Amino acid sequence: MRTALCIIIGLTIVAPAASAAPGSPIQGIIAQEDAARMTLLRGKALAAAHTAPAAVVVTVTAGRFDWGDAGIGGAAAVALTVLAAGGVVLVRDARRQKAHG
C-alpha cells in the first residue's frame, strides 16, 4: 500500500513537469512571461532606487535656555570632579604608604 501511494504521489509531482518538456511551446510562453515580469520588476526597482528621498523638514522652536539640561550637565560635571579628586587621593595615599611602609 505504501509503495503504491509513493508511486502515485511521485507521478503526480513529475507528470506536470514532463508534459511541458524543454523546448515546447508551453515552456517558451512561460519563459517569455517570466522574462517580461522580471523586466517590469527590475524597471520598478531601478526607478525606486533613482528617485530622491523626500526632504525632511525639522522645525526648531525659538532658543530658550533649558534649566533642566543645565542642571543635568552641572551634576555630571560635579560627579566627574568628585571622582577625579577621589582618584587623586587614592593614588597619593598609595604612594605615601609605599614610601613609608
Average pLDDT over residues 22-49: 80
Tens digits of per-residue pLDDT, 62-97?
A: 678 889 999 999 999 999 999 999 999 998 887 777
pTM metric for this prediction: 0.35
DSSP 56: P
Rounded CA gap, 31 and 19, in Å?
15
Average pLDDT over residues 2-6: 69
Rounded CA gap, 26 and 28, in Å?
5
DSSP 24: S
